[in-house]
Amino acid sequence: SQKIEQNSEALNIQEGKTATLTCNYTNYSPAYLQWYRQDPGRGPVFLLLIRENEKEKRKERLKVTFDTTLKQSLFHITASQPADSATYLCALVTGGYQKVTFGIGTKLQVIP
Amino acid sequence: GAVVSQHPSWVICKSGTSVKIECRSLDFQATTMFWYRQFPKQSLMLMATSNEGSKATYEQGVEKDKFLINHASLTLSTLTVTSAHPEDSSFYICSAWGAGGSSYNEQFFGPGTRLTVL
């Protein structure tokens, strides 16, 4: 069966360090993969998109890698700040660039 | 970027009543909108795809007669939860794809509606 796995355990890191979140998937052939941020009681906010033929994407302090052989994406936040504390969702886009399937998300807590 | 709004942001209703949730794209036209549901500590689950001027497409296991979707214009989709029960209590979120330019391939989400059925 199809599965998207994110570490549902909370990740606690010290301010200034790099946070690395993992997204693994099985039985999908995504056209591309997205990362979102979700704050409590709010809708997700789009952060980054990476296509199946791209290995790495950067945006300011964010970096995403995509390994279609391992079926894994890593999401990095460098120089993390307390304001980065949120739940981060991985999402796979399939089916003609319309259907989006979300992982459960990883809660990140950046400690001052 | 594009903005999607939802109304109301929260609603409490009695069991057996119907509740309507509105989703609007404020500065772009959306021929397709999506409705998701999120239970506590769970991922967003796609309920249905709302198509302007035609019937919605529902995901497996979602009752189309219970969750009525109407997409009457390019900027408005509504979700009506009919005969709501406590198990329908959840966080309902809508989304739409960006219309082009830098927002292409980006999905914009509404702020969500918290439904509590007593």
Residue B92 in contact with partner chain A when CB distance is under 8 A:
no
Nearest-CA distance B118 → chain A (Å): 20
| Helix, strand, or coil (residue B23) | strand
Segment B17-39, tens digit of pLDDT:
999 999 999 988 888 899 999 99
Residue written as token pair 């609603």: B11
In this structure, which amino acid lies at residue B102? S
Cα distance between residue B4 and residue A97, in whole Å: 19
| Helix, strand, or coil (residue B86) | helix
Q: Which residue of B107, B113, B116 to mutate against A (max A Cβ within 10 Å)? A: B107
Segment A8-30, tens digit of pLDDT:
789 999 999 999 999 999 888 87
In this structure, which amino acid lies at residue B86? P
Q: Which residue of B31, B44, B46 to mutate against A (max A Cβ within 10 Å)? A: B44
Tell me what pLDDT residue A28 has. 82
User: Which residues, at least 6 apart from B58, have a Cβ–Cβ distance to it below 8 Å?
Assistant: B47, B48, B64, B67
Tell me what pLDDT residue B103 has. 47
Q: Where does residue A98 fall: left (phi above 0), alpha (psi -120 to 50 degrees), or beta otherwise?
A: alpha
